[in-house]
Amino acid sequence: MRPTSLAHVRAAVRALADAERAAGAARFFKTGPGDYGEGDKFLGIRVPDLRRIARASRALSRNNTLKLLRSPWHEERLVALLILADAHQRAAATEKLELHRAYLANTAYVNNWDLVDSSAGELVGSHIPSLGMQRLQRLAQSASLWERRIAIVATFWTIRHQDFSPTLVISERLIDDEHDLIHKATGWMLREVGKRDVAVLRRFLDAHAPSMPRVALRYAIERFEDAERRRYLSA
């Protein structure tokens, strides 16, 4: 039976709870005191199962989907984001903008890297061509680690559409960021640019490699030959 209410969706999620897997997820996503995921709670459910529940829950109302997004349980938040991203992909232009705004109003609940990475491209990045860079720049300047990650990961959408400028602009803005999760995401997006146009990546690295965090640089040059990697690492 397809879940048609918030109670049904929650029941479908919690029926798959696994305490041992939950304990492992809590360690993996760094939920201890002072860690980036401090206080997050896990039920211990595999992502393919959560994607299956999300697909079966397309009929869930937006209001109830947003309630699900505000859950204390990580997996319920992920299901909500998958539902929102799927709805956005299928929506008309006006509804896309409404979903985009709803997402930005609830970034406090998009509060771990997998939640960002499963949603930012579709719900934020796809609006860059029509809305420009202003909102993305604000996210990149946020005090919130997760909003900054949204800013850079959102540019995956424009990368896939052969527009690399947003990635380069936000990457430059985040070069001085202090958090490892931003370094990794920035290097990842730059590597994706390089997959499509390595000359663009090389120009960026020629200008910025000496000041880039080591993690970001290593991610960005991962596909280079050994000699070129060594040259950039020694810059």
- The CA–CA distances, whole Å, from 219 to 6, 90, 123, 187, 229 equal 40, 33, 25, 5, 10
What digits encode the pLDDT tens for the residues 147-182?
999 999 999 999 999 999 999 999 999 999 999 999
What digits encode the pLDDT tens for the residues 183-234?
999 999 999 999 999 999 999 999 999 999 999 999 999 999 999 999 999 9
Residues in contact with 146: Cβ distance below 8 Å, sequence separation at least 6, in sequence order: 107, 110, 111, 112, 115, 116
- The CA–CA distances, whole Å, from 14 to 11, 64, 91, 227 equal 5, 17, 29, 50
Question: Could you tell me if 169 and 204 are in contact, meaning their C-beta atoms sit under 8 angstroms apart?
Answer: no
- What is the pLDDT at residue 118? 98
39-54 average pLDDT score: 98
28-43 average pLDDT score: 96
- What is the pLDDT at residue 1? 46
- The pLDDT confidence band at residue 125, using thresholds 50, 70 and 90, is very high
Against a cut of 0.85, is the pTM above it?
yes
Residue 86 CA to its chain's centroid (Å): 15
Token duo for residue 136: 């993305």
- Residue 3: pLDDT over 60: no
What digits encode the pLDDT tens for the residues 80-98?
999 999 999 999 999 999 9
Mean model confidence pLDDT for the chain:
96
- State the first-to-last Cα distance of the chain, in angstroms, to the nearest integer: 58
125-130 average pLDDT score: 97
Handedness of CA 191, 24, 35, 48 (dihedral sign): positive
Which amino acid type is present at position 230? R
Residues composing the chain: 235
